[in-house]
Amino acid sequence: MALLPCAPMLISDFDYELPDELIARYPAVDRRGSRLLELSDTRPSLRGASGLVACR
């Protein structure tokens, strides 16, 4: 697979609106319902976080 050239990233590339009520303050008691936003080439989607390995 060939690597594509990348444009330089700017801090401003990460500026976006995030309503305060969407920011988690504490982890969910039952983490099986936790989700991650996954970005791909086609479109963003939500996926479960249950398959992640815990770091120690």
Walking along the chain (56 residues) 10 residues at a time, the average pLDDT comes out as 75 86 81 75 75 63
How high is the pLDDT of residue 21? 87
Question: Do the bridges between strand 35-38 and strand 45-48 make them parallel or antiparallel, or are there none, so unpaired?
Answer: antiparallel
Rounded-to-integer distance, Cα 8 and Cα 49, Å: 30
How high is the pLDDT of residue 42? 74
Does this model's pTM top 0.75? no
How high is the pLDDT of residue 55? 60
Query: Cα–Cα distances in Å, from 41 out to 3, 19, 32, 44, 53?
Result: 14, 25, 27, 8, 24
How high is the pLDDT of residue 52? 67
How high is the pLDDT of residue 17? 86
How high is the pLDDT of residue 51? 66
